[in-house]
Amino acid sequence: MSDSVPLDPVDLHILRLLQNDARTTYRDLAAEVGIAPSTCLDRVNRLRRTGVILGDELRIDPARIGRGLQALLLVQVRPHRRDLIGPFVERVRALPESLALFHLTGPDDYLVHVAVAGASDLQRLVIDEFTSHREVARVETRLIFQRWDCGPLLPPG
């Protein structure tokens, strides 16, 4: 892919370590990788500047804030036109229950990852925020029993 950024073994080591603990200090990161802290800072800044590192993310446990039920909603939007999907995407992104939204190929147009307090809240969300809109032709719900993180993400090869 033409958007790829060339990465050497030191860059890959930095990415591996930061994905395991993004709060690692530059001093500790540099020591682990075997470079000077200033060089480490320069490398991390270059990885940010080139878009390899997209930012720092705070992850919250939905259950700890009263949203113990997570689900994936497979949504069909009909007709699938720009004038309908733009507002649909913005509306879904603005929902406090939405964790992630994916535009898909295949029979379903969108996959929405949501977190709610319980089954009645999930039902309310599907009925009031999805199927009540004319452009939403179908919503299929999948409950999430457990989630695992994977990675770290590194380039192929």
Contact in structure between 131 and 76 (CB atoms under 8 Å): no
Same domain for 44 and 67, yes or no, is: no
Residues 42 and 77 in one domain: no
Query: What's residue 2's pLDDT?
Result: 57
DSSP symbols for 19-54 = HH-TT--HHHHHHHHTS-HHHHHHHHHHHHHTTSS-
Q: How many helices (DSSP H) and strands (DSSP E) are in the chain?
A: 5, 4
Residue 3 lies in a domain: no
Does residue 2 lie in a domain region? no
Domain match, 129 and 74 both: yes
Residue 153 lies in a domain: no
Q: Are strands 110-116 and 98-103 parallel, antiparallel or unpaired?
A: antiparallel
pLDDT value for 124 = 98
C-alpha closest to that of 130 among 120, 143, 141: 141
Could you tell me if 35 and 79 lie in one domain? no
Residues 105 and 41 in one domain: no
Same-domain check for residues 139 and 103: yes
Q: Is residue 156 part of a domain?
A: no
**Sequence-ordered list of residues with C-beta below 8 angstroms from that of 149, at least 6 positions apart, any chain:** none
Q: How far apart are the first and last CA of the chain?
A: 14
| Cα(95)–Cα(109) distance, integer angstroms | 18
Q: Cα(71)–Cα(68) distance, rounded to whole angstroms?
A: 10
Number of domains in the chain: 2
Residue at 1 is within a domain: no
Residue span of the structural domain in which 13 resides? 9-49
pLDDT at 1: 44
Residues 104 and 135 in one domain: yes
Beta bridge partners of 141: 73
Task: Indicate if 109 and 82 belong to the same structural domain.
Answer: yes
CA distances from 85 to 3, 75, 127, 132 (A): 27, 12, 18, 15
User: Is residue 93 in a domain?
Assistant: yes
Which pLDDT value is given to residue 157? 79
State pTM to two decimals.
Answer: 0.86
Per residue of the chain (157 residues), what is the pLDDT tens digit? 458 899 999 999 999 999 989 999 999 999 999 999 999 999 999 999 999 999 888 889 999 999 999 999 999 999 999 999 999 999 999 999 999 999 999 999 999 999 999 999 999 999 999 999 999 999 999 999 999 989 899 888 7
